[in-house]
Structure 1
Amino acid sequence: MMRRVEELLKEKVPIGVLSNTHGLEGDMKFYFFSNVPSLATKLTEAIAYNEQLKKFVMVRFEKVRKAHEYYIVHLVGVNTVAEAEKLKGFVVYVDKSFFPKSKDGEYYFFELFGAEVYDESNVNLGIVDDIIETGSNDVLVVKKGKEEMLVPVIERYIVSIDKENKKIVIRVPEWME
């Protein structure tokens, strides 16, 4: 079962989570993961998956509107609080093709997750396990075994990012040497 889930989600990107009900008409609060807010209003169809329940559901977005730090969404066929309750906690996945192609020097987080990280001598330092948004710049969390390295995504430390081959070459920060 786990392998089927991985295969189904392989070309998908988590874009948000249906967190709670909103009102009496089946609307839901939707926390959007992307930092490109204009994409939220372009949502039409997606796969929703609940890890705990091991359950997939196809969802179609009928309405999406911004509200505070989340969105209020109405899904086709979800018209009551009881129906919306059943979708709480489902993570919404879209095809990678949903995202506009990133330009040179830009990236979506999903393009970097799992990328192999090397130093300038071609020594493998690990893989990108997470990305932290700090406000001024992103920070790559590179893991190898139990070791973890934090690398700021700034010109001083990033030599190259090959999104196609998932390979990043860095200049090792002086505090790591």
Structure 2
Amino acid sequence: MRIDDCYQLGYISKTHGLQGEVSVVLDVDNPSDYQNLESVFVDLSKSEALIPFFVDTIDVKASRALVKFDDVDTIEQAQELVKASLYLPLTSLPELEEGKYYFHEIVGFNVIDQQQGELGVVKDVYTGGSQDLIALIYQGKEVLIPINDQLVPRVDKKEQTVHVDLPEGLLELGTSA
């Protein structure tokens, strides 16, 4: 399995106990949806190839999970997995209702402002902080646009466009140094 065919579920933050269990930070909207997870793909080498790991037990609590993988039975084996990212196939994502989108889907979409017209193409979506952000190159600089219903009222997957309604000055404020 390749990273390009997957979405990031989270990452292993630390070992837990002496029997090979690990603590996982889940970077998803509904962590409890993963309580019955049977397997994940693990990025051990920072390459394109991911390694499948089967889940022996998982206990999800809020945005964390305590996981025991098959064949990981010692703290030393678990330590080898710390900081590794966990992935699931894109095909396992549930279908979203009309008007909803996954962040990975909008990378490459054209960004169109209601006042200024076309601004550029979504380069990336930054998550994990207090605010999710769309990153695009505008006039040669990276601009960050907060994702919320007021600033990003509509995404058209068919037309591959992100429609924004930016207040005056946001493009200048949103420019990273």
Residue 129 (1) aligns with residue 124 (2): yes
Looking at structure 2, the residues matched to 54 and 11 of structure 1 have their Cα atoms a distance apart, in angstroms, of 10
Percent identity between the two aligned chains: 20
Residue matched to 1:4: none
Q: Which is further off, 87-96 or 110-119?
A: 110-119
Secondary structure of 1:42's aligned partner:
coil
Looking at structure 2, the residues matched to 94 and 158 of structure 1 have their Cα atoms a distance apart, in angstroms, of 27
Residue matched to 1:3: none
Encode CA deviations 1:149-172: one digit per residue, 9 max, x unaligned. Answer: 233334443353023554212233
In the alignment of these two chains, the number of paired residues is 170
Looking at structure 1, the residues matched to 84 and 3 of structure 2 have their Cα atoms a distance apart, in angstroms, of 14
Residue matched to 2:175: none
CA contact (8 A) 1:31 1:69 kept: yes
Residue matched to 1:13: 7
Residue matched to 2:174: none
CA contact (8 A) 1:117 1:128 kept: no
CA pair 48-127 structure 1, distance change in 2 beyond 3 A: same
CA contact (8 A) 1:157 1:172 kept: yes
Unaligned runs of 5+ residues in structure 2 are 172-177
Looking at structure 2, the residues matched to 168 and 96 of structure 1 have their Cα atoms a distance apart, in angstroms, of 21
Secondary structure of 2:2's aligned partner:
helix
Give the CA deviation at 1:39.
Answer: 2.5
Give the CA deviation at 1:12.
Answer: 0.5
Map 1:20-169 onto structure 2 (within 5 A). Answer: 20-52=14-46, 56-67=50-61, 69-120=63-114, 122-132=117-127, 138-144=132-138, 146-163=140-157, 166-169=160-163
- For the aligned residue pairs, the C-alpha RMSD in angstroms reads 2.9
Encode CA deviations 1:109-158: one digit per residue, 9 max, x unaligned. Answer: 222344332234652423142245676x7443333475232333344433
Give the CA deviation at 1:99.
Answer: 1.9
Secondary structure of 2:43's aligned partner:
strand
TM-score by length of 2: 0.77
Secondary structure of 1:103's aligned partner:
coil
CA contact (8 A) 2:110 2:118 kept: no
